[in-house]
C-alpha cells in the first residue's frame, strides 16, 4: 500500500537532464569568465528548486521538450527522477559553498568548487555519466537523509537499473 501523502516517483527523459546539465555548465563558465557570482547564485537557486521540488522545476532543462519536438527525436527509456535530484542537491551544496567562499574573499577556492560542478555537469552532458546519480545508489546515509528531506520518509525504494545501450 502506498502512502497517499507521497506522490509516486516521476520518470524523466535522461536527454533532458543532459541538456540541462550542459546548459548550466555553459552559464557557470560564463559566470566565471565575467567574474559574476550572482549568476552562480541564480543557477544554484534553479538547481535547488529542482532538487527540492522535482525535476519538472529544473528551469535550465525546460527548453528540452521543444528541442526534442523540433528535432523530431523519438522516445527514450525514461529514468527515475530521484537520482538526478540527489545529484542536483550535491551540486547546490558545492555551489553554495563556493558562493560562501567567494563572499568571504577566498576566490580561488570558491571558483574551484564552481569548477567542480561545471566539470561534473559537462561529464553528464557529454557522456551521460552522472556521478551524483551513482552515489545515490550506494545507499549510504546521505541519500537516506535526502529522502527524508524531500518527503519520502525513511524508506528508499529499490530502483531497477537497466543496462545502458550505448
Q: Where are the domains of the chain?
A: 12-149
Report the candidate in 98, 93, 5, 89 with the shortest Cα–Cα distance to residue 55.
89
Which residues share a beta bridge with 80? 11
Question: Which three three-digit cell numbers place residue 106?
Answer: 577566498
pLDDT at 67: 82
How far is the C-alpha of 131 from the C-alpha of 34, rounded, in Å? 28
Helices (H), 35-106: 37-53, 64-70, 82-103
Phi, psi of 150 (to 5 degrees): -90, 5
Determine whether 136 is exposed, middle or buried from the number of CB atoms within 10 Å of its CB (0-12, 13-18, 19+). Answer: buried
Instruction: Cell numbers for 17, please give them.
Output: 537532464
Q: Whole-angstrom Cα distance, residue 80 to residue 30? A: 31
pLDDT of 4 reads 38
Average pLDDT, the chain: 84
Q: Does the global pTM surpass 0.85? A: no
Low-confidence ranges of the chain (pLDDT < 50): 1-7, 154, 156
> How far is it, in rounded angstroms, from Cα 84 to Cα 54?
9
Looking at residue 9, its pLDDT comes to 73
Contact 156, 146 (CB under 8 A): no
CA 56 to chain centre: 12
The three grid cell numbers given for residue 131, joined into one nine-digit string: 556521478
Angle (CA) 128 129 130, round 5°? 110
Amino acid at each position: 500500500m502506498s502512502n497517499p501523502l507521497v506522490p509516486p516517483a516521476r520518470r524523466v527523459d535522461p536527454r533532458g537532464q543532459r541538456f540541462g546539465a550542459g546548459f548550466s555548465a555553459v552559464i557557470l563558465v560564463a559566470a566565471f569568465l565575467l567574474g559574476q557570482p550572482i549568476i552562480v547564485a541564480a543557477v544554484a537557486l534553479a538547481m535547488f528548486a529542482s532538487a527540492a521540488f522535482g525535476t519538472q522545476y529544473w528551469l535550465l532543462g525546460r527548453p528540452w521538450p521543444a528541442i526534442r519536438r523540433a528535432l523530431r527525436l523519438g522516445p527514450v527509456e525514461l529514468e527515475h527522477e530521484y537520482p538526478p535530484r540527489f545529484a542536483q542537491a550535491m551540486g547546490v551544496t558545492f555551489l553554495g559553498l563556493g558562493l560562501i567562499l567567494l563572499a568571504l574573499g577566498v576566490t580561488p577556492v570558491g571558483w574551484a568548487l564552481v569548477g567542480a560542478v561545471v566539470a561534473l555537469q559537462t561529464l553528464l552532458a557529454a557522456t551521460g555519466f552522472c556521478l551524483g546519480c551513482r552515489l545515490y545508489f550506494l545507499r549510504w546515509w546521505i541519500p537516506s537523509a535526502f529522502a527524508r528531506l524531500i518527503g519520502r520518509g525513511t524508506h528508499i525504494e529499490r530502483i531497477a537499473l537497466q543496462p545502458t545501450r550505448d
